[in-house]
Amino acid sequence: MKKVFLDTSYWIALINRKDPFHVQVIQKLKSLKSVHRLRFITTDEVLMELLTFFSSPGSNMRLGTAEMVYDILNDPSIEVIP
| pLDDT the model gives residue 15 | 92
41 within 8 A of 79, measured Cβ to Cβ: yes
Domains defined along the chain, listed by start? 2-81 (3.40.50.1010)
In tens, the pLDDT along 35-77 reads: 778 889 999 999 999 999 999 877 788 999 999 999 999 999 8
In tens, the pLDDT along 1-16 reads: 889 999 999 999 999 9
| pLDDT the model gives residue 64 | 92
- Which residues, in sequence order, are CB contacts of 82 under 8 Å at separation 6+? 43, 44
pLDDT tops 80 at residue 25: yes
pTM: 0.87
